[in-house]
Amino acid sequence: MEPIRIALVQMQSETGMIDKNMEKIYSFTRQAAEKKADIICFPELCIQGYHREKSPPLAKPIPGESSEAIIRLAVQEGIIVLAGLAEQSGTEKPYITQLLAFPGGDWAVYRKTHLGKSEAPYFSPGDKLPVFSSAQASFGVEICWDLHFPEVSAILSLKGAEIIFAPHASPTIVGDRRNIWLKYLAARAYDNTVFVAACNLVGSDGTGQSFCGGALVIDPKGTVVAEDFDGREGLLVADLDPTLLNTIRRRESGSMRHSFYLEGRRPELYGELLKKVKPL
């Protein structure tokens, strides 16, 4: 991994107000490009807004008008853009998708693989855990609920991811977002020797839902390196120093405190992880 500058967005997305939401995406992306960021990540379903019941009729195809606008933006500003949208799936249930648009005009998608109980009636789960590459780093994406499943982060790290971007749509009613994130995002970073970069929707969606915001960057030792929890729309820019990650992954230190723990796994013992948990 090379030094890399990332930008995370806390953004108010009003449900169904796609043009208005896209204008904010354009503005934040231009700000990030001016600050020489290499990658900018927006929250979950930021294009249409996060609304379980209303997302199916608002879903868009990829490629399509919204995705092509994001791809053009990435090319124009010379920055990788990660933006969330409800993507048509071929069924009545869309995917919760994070579109990745690259400066060269290429694009890719990550589709949320783990749906919360309240999401399953309205969305389709994805079935792939891809890792993407830029000139500076390899990275993966996990969307909100995905982060509660340690296996996902481990797989991404084993496939070479050095950064995990974590776009969220976490509501205000859940509570103190910083305190909640530090309970498990730090563990995902520490156990898998990755940077974790999370961002959240903020404010009202115009339908009565409210999101608590938050942007947080954690290094491969589980230490907070940048954060913003002021509860307002904003752009958090952070420089990721690869020295620690490279030291661990390239085995440049003889100290056990710089261990790449995934190298010590014993997969032959983990067969029980493949069994379904019986309902209590």
**For residue range 46-56, what is the model confidence (pLDDT) as tens digits?**
999 999 999 99
Average pLDDT (29-50) is 98
Question: Taking the model in full, what pTM does it have?
Answer: 0.96
Angle value at C-alpha 42, between 246 and 198, nearest 5 degrees = 45
- Encode 230-247: b = buried (16+ Cβ within 10 Å), e = exposed: eeebbbbbbebebebbeb
Name the percent of the chain lying above pLDDT 70: 98
Which residue has 């994130």 as its token pair?
A: 181
| Residue-level pLDDT at 278 | 74
What pLDDT, on the 0 to 100 scale, is given for residue 105?
97
For a pLDDT cut of 90, what percent of the chain falls above it? 89
Going along the chain from its start, the domains and CATH numbers come out as 4-274 (3.60.110.10)
Omega before residue 167 within 30° of 0, cis:
no
pLDDT at 256 over 70: no
pLDDT reading at 26 higher than 80: yes
Mean pLDDT of the chain: 95
Tell me what pLDDT residue 266 has.
Answer: 93
Reported as a pLDDT band with limits 50, 70 and 90, residue 253 is: low
Residues paired with residue 119 on neighbouring β-strands, in sequence order: none
Cβ atoms of residues 200 and 232 within 8 Å: no
Nearest by Cα to 139 from 111, 154, 159: 159
pLDDT band at 144 (very low <50, low <70, confident <90, very high): very high
Angle 65-77/18-34 helices, nearest 10 degrees?
A: 20
